[in-house]
Structure 1
Amino acid sequence: MNSGHISTSLGNWLARGWKAGNANWFPVLLLCIAAFGIYGFIEIAEEVADGDIRNFDEVLFLSLRAAGDTSMLRGPDWLQETALEVTAVGGFPLIIFTVASVAGFFVVTKRYGAALFVVLSVGSGALLSYTLKQYYARPRPDLVDHLDAVHTASFPSGHALVTTVAYLTLAALVIGFVEERRARVYVLSIAVFVAVVVGVSRVYLGVHWPSDVAAGWALGAAWASFSWLIMHILKQRRTRTVE
């Protein structure tokens, strides 16, 4: 089957989603999220490249610091330690361990497609983050001391991007095994919450500009949605083949 036929089939299938209402709305929603996420990332990237977003970044960045003393964080003393622990959730060691554990579970239970999906989705998201950091080479914030170790460029936030991809991907897998809508909403909400708090922690610890994190969220949501869409298409195709 050539690429033109695949594109036509996909287009017809998505078009049926609009006509069939709730029956096929899900792939259309995923495609919209992916499109808006990519658009949001491009817009932020252009603002960063032009330097137009610097003042906005600084205002939000410094709003998390004590007035008159940028070396002091707002909030109680224990909040900094909490932020360090939260930001570790989006660190590569924990992400790799989590993805490997989940993929291993699916391999053991002979769900090889699910194992491959989670590895490819998160792995490609991490590679995308690294590539974009190299391309934009934006310096880290220079207004305060960094409260967490950093080794790469600033834009986009790798923690925000990879955490969003990883936890939305894991949410997609869990949702595939549950039927109750409230349970699905709960799982998705937890994934979004984790991505949000990890991203905020990066700004709070002084290692990322807010725009870095926003770009990471946008592209991470787009990447996860696109991966989810591919998985959905393959699952639907397999179901039709079986029928």
Structure 2
Amino acid sequence: MSALWGFLLLANEALTGETHAADAWVLRWCRTAGTEGGAWGPTWLPDVMRDITALGSPTVLILLGTMVWGYLLMTKQHRMAWLAAASCLGGWATSHALKGVFMRARPALDFHGTLAEGYSFPSGHAMMSAIVFLTLATLIARLAPRTSLRVYAILIAVLLSVLVGLSRVYLGVHWASDVVAGWVAGVAWALLVWALAHRLHIGQEDSR
């Protein structure tokens, strides 16, 4: 509930322009001084960031989700498999719906370091990477025999989600508040799915 409230507060501040000064500062900070639209850092860094941002692309997330879904079915975790699939598909629909509701424009094309289209708020890459990585990690963690393995899975999911979000700002295709909102929405979604799995005792099926 607190995550949802945080998203709504951030959405209100972003759309009323209260985050504009901070958003613009972060975007300019990622630019090389004196080079309009040029990305900050060594020449290889933009390519690395484009590789990272691809981890949050629909193609990669669909492939990952499908592979995990197949694994769960093969291990006879049928309810978990279908919960994971429903979570990913529902998250994708929600992300697109939110963009249509808020209709926030992206930063100017001069800043773009990769292809991007559609509305900006919330960041679809940030939100969907958080939804997919965190949801799959928390569900799979329920099958892990040791706490260290569960913590490892969740930490990797958090790291990937953070890197994808940061890459969107660095590449100039999102405002920082778009990415933060995407993270908050994604975490809220993953927590909801985790609570549902816990409530329904999903992940405790016999592996006969």
| Same fold at TM > 0.5 | yes
1:62 and 1:70 in contact (8 A); partners too: no
Secondary structure, counterpart of 1:178 in structure 2: coil
Return the letter of the residue paired with 2:172: G
Cα offset, 1:184, TM superposition = 1.6
Pick one of 82, 87, 95 that aligns with 1:121: 87
Residue of structure 2 equivalent to 1:63: 29
Could you list the structure 1 runs, at least 4 aligned residues long, displaced by more than 3 angstroms after superposition. none
Residue of structure 2 equivalent to 1:234: 200
Which structure 1 segments of 5+ residues have no match? 1-34
Tell me if 1:214 matches 2:176: no
1:168 and 1:191 in contact (8 A); partners too: yes
Tell me if 1:198 matches 2:164: yes
Residue of structure 2 equivalent to 1:151: 117
Return the letter of the residue paired with 2:162: V
Return the letter of the residue paired with 2:14: V
Residue of structure 2 equivalent to 1:139: 105
Return the letter of the residue paired with 1:203: V
Matches for 1:71-150 after TM superposition, within 5 Å: 71-142=37-108, 144-150=110-116
CA distance in 2, matches of 1:221, 1:170: 12
Return the letter of the residue paired with 1:166: V
Cα offset, 1:197, TM superposition = 0.3
Aligned identity (percent) is 37
CA distance in 1, matches of 2:64, 2:177: 27
Pick one of 31, 44, 55 that aligns with 2:10: 44
User: Cα RMSD between the aligned structures?
Assistant: 1.7
Return the letter of the residue paired with 1:94: V
1:188-243 CA distances to partner (integer Å, 9 max, x unpaired)?
A: 1110000000000000111000000000000100011001100110007x78xxxx
Return the letter of the residue paired with 2:142: G
Over alpha carbons, which structure has the higher Rg? 1
CA distance in 1, matches of 2:84, 2:17: 36
1:94-149 CA distances to partner (integer Å, 9 max, x unpaired)?
A: 10111111112222333211110111111111111000001111111017331211
Residue of structure 2 equivalent to 1:3: none
Superposition TM-score, scaled by structure 2 size? 0.93
Residue of structure 2 equivalent to 1:168: 134
CA distance in 1, matches of 2:112, 2:31: 13
CA distance in 1, matches of 2:144, 2:36: 47
1:147-182 CA distances to partner (integer Å, 9 max, x unpaired)?
A: 211122100000000100100111112211223222
Return the letter of the residue paired with 2:191: S
Tell me if 1:184 matches 2:184: no
CA distance in 2, matches of 1:181, 1:109: 20
CA distance in 2, matches of 1:134, 1:180: 42
Superposition TM-score, scaled by structure 1 size? 0.80
Return the letter of the residue paired with 2:200: L
